[in-house]
Amino acid sequence: MDHQPKFFENLSGTGKAIGVLTSGGDAQGMNAAVRAVVRMGIYVKAKVYFVYEGYQGMVDGGDNIVEVSWESVSSILQVGGTVIGSARCKSFRTREGRLQAAYNLVQRGITNLCVIGGDGSLTGANLFREEWSGLLEELAQKGKIDEEAVKKYAYLNIVGMVGSIDNDFCGTDMTIGTDSALHRIIEVVDAIMTTAQSHQRTFVLEVMGRHCGYLALVSALACGADWVFIPEYPPEEGWEDTMCVKLSENRARKKRLNIIIVAEGAIDCHNKPITSEKVKDLVVQRLGFDTRVTILGHVQRGGTPSAFDRILASRMGVEAVLALLEATPATPACVVSLSGNQAVRLPLMECVQMTQEVQKAMDEGRFVEAVRLRGRSFENNLNTYKLLSHKRPDAELPKTNFNVAVLNVGAPAAGMNAAVRAAVRVGITEGHKMFAVIDGFEGFARGKIKEISWGDVGGWTGQGGSILGTKRTLPAKYLEKIADQMRTNNINALMVIGGFEAYESCLQLHEARSRFEEFCVPICVLPATISNNVPGTDFSIGADTSLNAIVETCDRIKQSASGTKRRVFIIETMGGYCGYLANMGALAAGADAAYIFEEQFDIRELQANVEHLTEKMKTSIQRGLVLRNENCNENYTTDFIYQLYSEEGKGVFDCRKNVLGHMQQGGAPSPFDRNFGTKISAKAMQWISKKLKETYRKGKVFANTDDSVCLLGMRRRNLVFQPVAELKTETDFVHRIPKEQWWLKLRPLMKILAKYKTSYDVSDSGQLEHVAMHSPKEAETGAI
């Protein structure tokens, strides 16, 4: 995309006033959005006002609408819920209420509103905007405001951000709060699994989501639940028998527990509710299993926001302010949302109408249509769940006579096991014989390879690390032995799950094809590394879990500083030469600076950071947080920076340092990593099957083209298979990072939110798009 960068410095907020409110049900991450709106607003020299208690505060006025400063939003990034309060408001639904609200806003010159809430709140905001000029005329007639005010404040701009744990809003892949709610659910499911295992129990878990099954579906996918009930996809007639057969089959396969997930809005095909109690009674009566019900309730709304939600909300908040600055009287009210990895703006009412269409489709029993309207991400989740949860009887499975091997390469990353499980199960469903290689290419050379069955990978999604075992060894020195093993075990395809080493390994196998015909088979690489340094993909399996570990630690460290005051912490993160963890960790933890290899820095910059922190200590925020990537500079080490800060900050602040180390690699995988690993692995396995069919000639598989060794990565909005040979030009092999990295664009965001003057390229934002209705074909090709 060759465009002239467009910088937001040209957009001035001077003379503008922005009101920010949260409305409807609360969601984790709302505070991060509020913080971003306030700081970005002040940064562009606009006045920013809090509207406390949602629309109720707007109607009541007085102390509910208050101008805020930079420090007003300090320390709220890690707090769940919303610090400015939210309330359901009956009076705003009346014209009198809206008239009063308009009067209260005009009194303070507020003509820009940023509303964070669900579809109800956003619809209300749009109605308010449409009525605005009429409301002002009425206020003038009643003598409450003068004609000049009517002209001066003639139009109201509205930008919405969707804050809702339900993820029920069409047009956005993830709403603020959804990822955190999934974290709460998965924490509970993981805990319940251990007790269920001990007693051979069945657990029925009821999760929130109103009329949307997203939370239930994704948590079922992330924990490998035996059965899931969601409103968009009611079970077929006679589901009671099918479910009980499935549960008893699983027990017969030595599975000691069953997990059934029920969405609170679950229905059967006659639109009758299916409750968790009904499911429990059924299991007890038919099967006599010891069964318990757990209703998660408001736990899902509570707790601290995940790293994903903080970054999402911060990006959306900044985008919302840009949208308000660029708005004209002709601009329709818009929603800023996420599509894949892109921030986009969509017309608010188009999204609301489509969201309402889903409900209408469900009410009328058009369930296939309802799933399609939910969007391609939802549809993909459902298809993947169906593929992985039910094993078809052996007699019904196709027989391809192909053998496919799966192995892990490089350092362990959370989510690798979920990827292996998905690969094995999809492979078996496609009719292949699946083999597991123990300890990477080193184990492969030694013949550590065995067939792996459907049941062998049960319960793997929630396990951290690598169950198969993984080594950093590259295949180059064992090529002959590996070729022997491939011949002996008749391996027709390889799936390699790992980090930069996995990518390099497959390049070596590709280059060795001319010498060893055994490597002329379809090979697919899945990026899995906490460093997120693999070319060809924006995200790697494991990076999200690691980011959450970093952010959690930073939160604790910040809290420890709140008692001591005037303290700066220097925290070293992993990542090799890739600054992803340091940069995104800094954005999610609200750090003051992040030192990374990709953006060279010198002593002057270090000096500027110290001065910045010295100024900060004069305000009410008396603590600092600085992140440093382990390899950002060979001379400016963590110790050096610690000593420099200690010396320069003498008498103003003291310093502490913390090297996070291997805690960043461990832990149970986050919902995102489980889901991402599962989905890309299932997709990769289908690609392997397709390639096997295409390259099978005269009784053998022979694949020697570049496009038969691919890496599957997420690029902007789509999942794409890219030949590893073509990715070579995009790679810096010395530092083991891609030459171009998307997240560097977010660097100015962190600086702005930490009060540094900087340039921010906003070329990608600004175009109002339309809500795309996707075709069923699209669900197969691209989205995650």
In the residue annotation, 166 being an active-site residue is answered as yes
Q: Quick one: CA torsion of 262, 215, 163, 590, rounded to 10 degrees?
A: 130
CA 475 remoteness from chain centre: 33
Residue 529 counted as an annotated binding residue: yes
CA nearest to 38, candidates 9, 13, 68, 63? 68
Which two tokens mark 254? 């030595």
Residue 25 counted as an annotated binding residue: yes
In this structure, are residues 219 and 186 in contact, taking their beta carbons and an 8 Å threshold?
yes
End-to-end CA distance of the chain: 23
Give dist(CA 126, CA 334) in Å, integer: 9
Count CB neighbours of 103 within 10 A. 18
Residue 119 counted as an annotated binding residue: yes
Residue 165 counted as an annotated binding residue: yes
CA 334 remoteness from chain centre: 22
Residue 664 counted as an annotated binding residue: yes
Which helix (H) or strand (E) is 183 found in, with range? helix 178-199
* CB-based burial label for 672 (10 Å; 0-12, 13-18, 19+): buried
Residue 663 counted as an annotated binding residue: yes
Which helix (H) or strand (E) is 436 found in, with range? strand 433-437
Give dist(CA 460, CA 222) in Å, integer: 10
Residue 315 counted as an annotated binding residue: no
Q: 3-class secondary structure for 529-560?
A: CCCCCCCCCCCCECHHHHHHHHHHHHHHHHHH
Question: Which residue of the set 2, 26, 63, 166 is catalytic?
Answer: 166
Look up residue 24 and give its amino acid: G
CA 25 remoteness from chain centre: 21
DSSP 698-721: TTEE---SGGGEEEEEEETTEEEE
Residue 188 counted as an annotated binding residue: no
Residue 120 counted as an annotated binding residue: yes
SS3 of residue 116 by DSSP: strand
Residue 665 counted as an annotated binding residue: yes
Which two tokens mark 22? 């949260």
SS3 of residue 353 by DSSP: helix
For the chain, the helix, strand and coil percentages under 3-state DSSP, each to the nearest 5: 45, 20, 35
Which two tokens mark 111? 């003509």
Give dist(CA 418, CA 194) in Å, integer: 18
Residue 118 counted as an annotated binding residue: yes
SS3 of residue 304 by DSSP: coil
SS3 of residue 579 by DSSP: coil
In this structure, are residues 5 and 151 in contact, taking their beta carbons and an 8 Å threshold?
no
Torsion angles phi and psi, residue 496, rounded to 5: -110, 115
Residue 574 counted as an annotated binding residue: yes
Residue 487 counted as an annotated binding residue: no
In this structure, are residues 418 and 681 in contact, taking their beta carbons and an 8 Å threshold?
yes
Which two tokens mark 430? 């496609």
Give dist(CA 557, CA 554) in Å, integer: 5
Residue 656 counted as an annotated binding residue: yes
Residue 98 counted as an annotated binding residue: no
Residue 24 counted as an annotated binding residue: no
Pairing status of strand 291-295 against strand 17-22: unpaired
Give dist(CA 20, CA 46) in Å, integer: 13
Which two tokens mark 81? 């819920």
In this structure, are residues 688 and 524 in contact, taking their beta carbons and an 8 Å threshold?
yes
Contacts of 534 (CB under 8 A, 6+ apart): 499, 500, 502, 503, 527, 540, 711, 713, 738
Which two tokens mark 771? 């809500």
- Summarize the annotated binding site for ATP as residue ranges: 25, 88-89, 118-121
What are the binding residues? 25, 88-89, 118-121, 164-166, 201, 208-210, 264, 292, 298-301, 472, 529-533, 567, 574-576, 630, 656, 662-665, 736
Catalytic site residues? Answer: 166
Residues in binding site for substrate: 164-166, 201, 208-210, 264, 292, 298-301
Write out the binding residues for beta-D-fructose 2,6-bisphosphate.
Answer: 472, 529-533, 567, 574-576, 630, 656, 662-665, 736
